[in-house]
Amino acid sequence: MCGFVGGNNPNWNYAGAVERIRHRGPDSQRTMLLGEVIIAFARLAVIDPTEVADQPMSSENEDVTLAFNGEIYGYRELQSQLKKRGHRFRTASDTEVLLQAYLEWGDDWVNHVDGMFSVVIYDRRLIELKLFRDRVGIKPLYYMYDGKNFAFASELKAIPALCSDLRFEVDHTAVFDYLTYRYIPAPKTLYRHVYKLAPAHKVSFNLRTRELGPIKRYWSLEIDTDPPPLSADQASENLRALISESVASQLVADVPVGCFLSGGIDSSVIIATASKQCEELRTFSIGFDVSSHSETEYAAMIAERFNTDHRQRILTLRESQNLLPLLATWYDEPFGDTSALPTFLVSQLAREHVTVALTGDGGDEVFGGYRWYRLFKRCLLGKALRVLPFDRLFRPLKNRFSKQTLLYRTCNGLEAVFSNNLTLYAKLLRGLTGTDKKNYAERWHIPKDYDDLWYFRQYWRADLSILTRLQYLDFHTYLPDDILTKVDRASMAVSLEARVPLLSRRLVEFVFSIDESTRYLNGQLKGLLKYAFRDRLPREILERSKKGFSIPRAYYKNYDLAEQEVLLRDVYQIQ
């Protein structure tokens, strides 16, 4: 895992900017002047740790230079394919495989690979910079364009550090969006003129004309609304094979590798699969000093069953309070998922022993594991049965109570039941809507006709059945902007590469290609996944309720449904 930063202005502070993201690549740093552009790189050496594999990496004739953050799955097979086409390799790195793939296929290289990646390519022949981000959004990529200046980086903090001569103004519509989603949705960031490149997208910048090309999607998640029949046993067999293939490809490294183990089904599936492929598997868990919230006993059960070298730590109330201010340091912009705290601690624990860790993230979005899916269906039933104008009744009623009271939360929940579908979903994800944000809208001069649900609306597929519709929505919004952002920053803060085997391309495309009733086999959340691993995992793991990885609410009793307002004020200092 690595980090890079670059731009088209020779007077910018490249050394200072790359130092800001040194945690992403503590093993070596390099800055290259490439005529019209400068690229600085911080490397975490995972595959081919030799100096010859350092980045930025140029082609033999120096026509093309590439910087790459991430991992390419099955890169050795792709290297063999390219060798047959006449390409010569100087390293054993997946970086050079990407470089040669671009030389072979141009921009179409992205359709020949799978992986987690953010990539910048300088093509001297075209005098262009090209940026690509992986299909799911596992690795981050930011860029700044103000009509003349262009900069890019692996983390938001590096861009203001680089462009110290420019003024960065807060985009208050982005902060307003944070109140709705608990993250700032792509392509927005905290600042005007600075953007996230969305997953599965690419963009180019012409260094001669200083024009930004159109942002293009190179891959879409296709869902067959009338899929061919597939039995549960056939689907399970295919699923196990794809998970095994994905885990095997992501265990490849020239440094020690381990696994996060929460005690939930997703990480347990990873451990059950990896234990067949790795003789001495190391696993790492975080628990809480609130026993009813902790899952350490289930993690220990899996560790014992698959004979892993297991370590765990406990997150205490005091430790969580001390860590809370670091959210601003890790995420650079408002981010409301406090499960980042235990994610940081388990990453810190793992980094003491390994450089790479496999995680079970993405399993809820791919296999359908969130409890709010069922709750949404129940709320839709309540709306269908509505005979009174409850929405107009509860909104004024709740405003009579303090946000700290049970009565306020009850009215807020009842109002959600009778809201429109997107408002309802935002509330189920603990976002603020409507009157909850009125004061902020006035303070920040948000237009009255501003559509604060624009991000959900963009991926709302009314043609899909309800559960698949919600999965599709989460896959494109909550997964990249919350879950994967959380894991990337928390793990890279301690220079740990986190990999996500449940999000390989073939696996994702297969699961979304099967019928919803098979995915939710026997009417269960993650029904197919449970069925596929019924002989590998203990019943206690398969049948227990999902707890998630959030911190115990008891740690922050003063945090009510407006928790993100508290974080915005106390952590990010935005009023």
Structure token pair of residue 413: 């929940």
pLDDT in tens, 29-70: 999 999 899 999 999 999 999 999 999 999 999 999 999 999
Q: In terms of Cα–Cα distance, which of 79, 57, 221 is closest to 137? A: 221
Cβ atoms of 152 and 5 within 8 Å: the answer is yes
Name beta bridge partners: 205: 129, 212
Question: How many alpha carbons lie under 13 Å from residue 548 in its C-beta half-sphere?
Answer: 13
Section 390-409 average pLDDT: 53
- Model confidence over 475-528: pLDDT tens digits? 999 999 999 999 999 999 999 999 999 999 999 999 999 999 999 999 999 999
Residue 132 CB burial class (10 angstroms; 0-12, 13-18, ≥19): buried
**CATH 3.60.20.10 residue spans of the chain:** 2-217
Helices 75-84 and 94-105: angle between axes, nearest 10 degrees: 40
Question: Is the pLDDT confidence value at 389 over 50?
Answer: no
- Angle between helix 265-274 and helix 296-305 axes, rounded to 10 deg: 20
Q: From the CB of residue 234, how many other CB atoms can be counted at a distance below 10 Å?
A: 12
* Range(s) of the chain covered by CATH 3.40.50.620: 232-368+490-570
Q: What is the mean pLDDT of the chain?
A: 91
In whole angstroms, give the CA distance from residue 140 to residue 484: 9
Residue 130 has pLDDT above 90, yes or no: yes
- Looking at domain 2-217, which CATH architecture does it have? 4-Layer Sandwich (3.60)
Q: Which CATH architecture has domain 232-368+490-570?
A: 3-Layer(aba) Sandwich (3.40)
pLDDT bracket for residue 406 (50, 70, 90): low
Structure tokens at 108: 């179409």
Neighbours of 508 (CB within 10 A): 21
Q: Is the dihedral of CA 138, 144, 150, 156 positive or negative?
A: negative
pLDDT of amino acid 400: 55
Paired with 58 in beta bridges are: 65
Query: What is the length of the chain?
Result: 575
- Range 479-492 burial, b when 16+ CB lie within 10 A, else e: bbbbbbbbbbbbbb
Q: Which two tokens stand for residue 573?
A: 């200092």
The reported pLDDT for the residue numbered 561 is 41
pLDDT computed for residue 34 by the predictor: 94
Question: Phi-psi region for residue 153, left (φ > 0), alpha (ψ -120 to 50) or beta?
Answer: beta
Compute the distance between CA of residue 278 and CA of residue 258 in angstroms, rounded to an integer.
10
Tell me the pLDDT band of 199, cut-offs 50, 70 and 90: very high
Rounded-to-integer distance, Cα 164 and Cα 144, Å: 13
Range in 30-39, 304-313, 417-426, 446-455 with the lowest mean pLDDT: 417-426
35-69 in b/e burial notation, b at 16+ Cβ within 10 A? ebbbbbbbbbbbbbbeeebbbbbbbeeeebbbbbb
Confidence class of residue 388 from pLDDT cuts 50, 70 and 90? very low
Cα 426 to Cα 408: distance, rounded to the nearest angstrom: 17
Neighbour-count burial for 436-455, b at 16+ CB within 10 Å, e otherwise: bbeebbeebebeeeeebbeb
538-568 pLDDT tens trace: 999 998 877 666 676 666 554 444 577 778 8
Token pair in block for residue 234: 């056939």
Tokens of 60: 């033999």
Name the DSSP class of 550.
P
